[in-house]
Amino acid sequence: MASIDRTKYLFVGVDLHKKTHVAVLCNCFGDVMKQFKITNAPNHFPVFLEDVKKHAEGKDIIFGLDDVNFYGRSLAKFLIANGYIVKEVNSSYTKKKRNKGTNRNKTDELDAKAICINLIMEYDAHPVANPQDIYLAIKQTLSTRNNYVKMAATMKL
């Protein structure tokens, strides 16, 4: 999708974490309409999506996630499977946006808003999310290896 008419959409920026995600719903001007906290578990995603749609005012929604291969993988796959546009917003953009303002505090809500603003302002620069299973396999392999190293170190003591 090339350039879009941003006035026809609402945007959701999601700051992703291991246990919970923080999301903000913004209009095309970056005004926050609603904040959400979501448990990072697939059975909670439909409730989140329904809550977002309640506030959508009949407009289509575009999601921006800062990590679609680790903590955000399940959410990205869920949103894509439900027909939504999901863009990957590099976290370095979020940090840059946060550091430009006068408020340099780091909160999940501010990060989610920064993700949303970046999604709106630089829409075409962000790639469409494409969660890859290879990253999950690598993560699981490294986790298993680290556990074996710890066990071996414990046995040597």
Helix (H, G, I), strand (E, B) or coil at 138: helix
Number of Cα atoms under 13 Å in the Cβ half of residue 106: 6
Predicted pLDDT of residue 150: 86
Tokens representing 52?
Answer: 């977002």
- DSSP H helix total and E strand total for the chain: 5, 5
Q: What is the pTM of this model?
A: 0.79
* CA distances from residue 52 to 34, 37, 38, 40, 124 in whole angstroms, order as listed: 8, 11, 11, 16, 23
Distance CA 105, CA 128 (A): 29
Predicted pLDDT of residue 21: 95
Predicted pLDDT of residue 126: 86
Place of tokens 């680790």: 70
Predicted pLDDT of residue 1: 42
Predicted pLDDT of residue 100: 66
pLDDT in tens, 49-87: 999 999 988 899 999 998 777 788 899 999 999 999 999
Predicted pLDDT of residue 37: 96
Over the chain (157 residues), the average pLDDT of each successive run of 10 is: 81 94 95 95 96 92 87 92 93 65 74 91 85 70 84 78
